[in-house]
A and B are shown apart, each in its own frame.
Chain A
């Protein structure tokens, strides 16, 4: 059963930024050449973190994508309000 939780953009940003930080810190050397192709941009995990912290267009989409995954895997449906 899905549970709905309402959060603000800044709370969502902090949650996703923390996950990205954990990803970057735990990344073994073999994975340090990973990049994300987002439209015309080639983003390193650190670039992704910067976009999320800025909450620009890409950053907001990264936040939405991450919350969508959390919702699928945990059953907690995050709704960003405000």
Chain B
């Protein structure tokens, strides 16, 4: 099981996102048995990404995005829909980034990416700049913990050998459930700031989507007992005759 984590760190959003991925995903993935390639900061560049993407099962991005693009360290363009997104073929991709689900997600799934988790709109976070470490910031944590929990659920489901549809369901439900818990908490706090927290928790929850193709699933085989096989065969052979006689 191979996991690539791509996390540039060069300004406030990437610093927050990369901190949460480092603290909650990278180490946890190793414990689950994943061989983790962590492309961080100056290593989170296109050259390293394309040199290592083959052979990865899951790719997690924590970066800036646009509808059809994902970026690396210092804003370097890495992935563009219909240009080089075929490299996600056969992989599961979680893009913690703005907007990329709306075009890049669909485009990569068209090119056989097994599942693409991302946002249809800008991903928004309220932060408190007075905290030295992003991990101590309770405001940012309300937005980022649901996501790292969702990523860990995705890794766990994959490690259990679940099918793509089950991995998608588990991951999506975890993210939404965790956002709902945060929303319920902030609703109990009667301050205008809490009201703003609720506004953007709804925003991030409602623009998160998984994109996948049912067609890629390996269907569960229908078991037919040996004794019944003959009957089924006779049934199939006689079926056209029944239609003909009516």
Contacts and interface: CB of A to CB of B under 8 A. Distances in A.
A7 interface: no
Given A37-B124, A37-B125, A69-B202, A26 B192 contact: yes
Contact of A36 (B16, B64, B126, B195): B126
Contact of B199 (A26, A33, A38, A65): A65
18 contacts: A26-B191, A27-B193, A34-B126, A34-B193, A35-B129, A36-B126, A36-B200, A37-B12, A37-B13, A37-B125, A39-B64, A39-B98, A39-B122, A40-B11, A40-B64, A61-B121, A65-B124, A65-B199
A36 B192 contact: no
Given A34-B126, A38-B122, A40-B64, A72 B202 contact: yes
B196 A23 contact: yes
A69 B196 CA distance: 9
Nearest to B12: A42
A45 B127 CA distance: 11
Contacts of B16: 37
Contacts of B203: 65, 68
A69 B195 contact: yes
Interface string B4-20: 00000001110010000
A73 B127 contact: no
Given A39-B98, A40-B13, A27 B121 contact: no
A68 B204 CA distance: 12
B130 interface: yes
A68 B127 contact: no
Contacts of B187: 73
A2 interface: no
B214 interface: no
Question: Interface centre among A37, A38, A66, by most B CB within 10 Å?
Answer: A37
B206 A68 contact: yes
B40 interface: no
Question: Interface centre among B187, B192, B198, by most A CB within 10 Å?
Answer: B192
Contacts of A33: 128-130
A26 B98 CA distance: 31
A66 B202 CA distance: 9
Given A22-B192, A27-B192, A65 B125 contact: no
A22 B194 CA distance: 13
